[in-house]
Structure 1
Amino acid sequence: MMNFRGRMTGLALLSAGVAMAAPALSMTSNQPPPGKPALLSEHGARQIAWRFGITHVEEIARSGGRWEIAGRDRDGNETVLDISAYDGRILD
């Protein structure tokens, strides 16, 4: 089982990875696609994450056109999920 320091290190690494990817994301997703002007709210992104098995959200942030969610599943495993802020689909 990972201790608090280990979890914080993992989240710091996740944050660093997100920060490094931000320029690429901003070039392609700052503007909504044609016909998709409404953005998914944080509450909506959390509901989608819960449906995909995240039971405890540890970090959630919107970056450009996506919600990036880090959390844990029912068994305590770390999970990361990227959700389109425009239509709620799960991104790779």
Structure 2
Amino acid sequence: MPTLNAPGRLLAALALNALIALAAQGEETYADVTISERQARDIAWSAGLVHVEEIVRLDDRWEIAGRTAEDDEISLDIDIRNGRILN
């Protein structure tokens, strides 16, 4: 098995460092992606709300309280990263 000389090892280390930096940058970008309040309202309406009484962003979720067409109270927690209804 051939061994790398000093310049070859340096080049390999720099390439590996660049790949790690790119991977970390991609994770930060993904972490910044969130759904908007408007998107959260649309998700709540598609789940049966016809009137939103309160909407609050808390850390990693939107909390939405409202009423259905039958005037039942409903509360939804929506994941802020992907729009999935948590409850």
Q: Shorter-chain TM-score category?
A: 0.5 to 0.7
Report the count of equivalent residues: 61
Consecutive unaligned residues in structure 2, runs of 5 or more: 1-26
The equivalent of 2:46 in structure 1 is 51
Q: Deviations for 1:46-84, whole angstroms, at most 9, x for unmatched residues?
A: 000000000000000000010000000001000000000
Q: 2: CA distance between counterparts of 1:69 and 1:34?
A: 26
Consecutive unaligned residues in structure 1, runs of 5 or more: 1-31
Which structure has more relative contact order (CA 8 Å, sep 6+)? It is: 1
The equivalent of 1:20 in structure 2 is none
Structure index of larger Rg? 2
Tell me the percent identity: 48
Contact 1:36 1:87 in 2 (8 A): no
Runs of 4+ in 1 over 4 A off after TM superposition: none
Give the C-alpha shift of residue 33 in structure 1: 8.9
Q: Deviations for 1:3-22, whole angstroms, at most 9, x for unmatched residues?
A: xxxxxxxxxxxxxxxxxxxx
User: Cα gap change, 1:34/1:90 in structure 2, threshold over 3 Å: closer, same or farther?
Assistant: farther
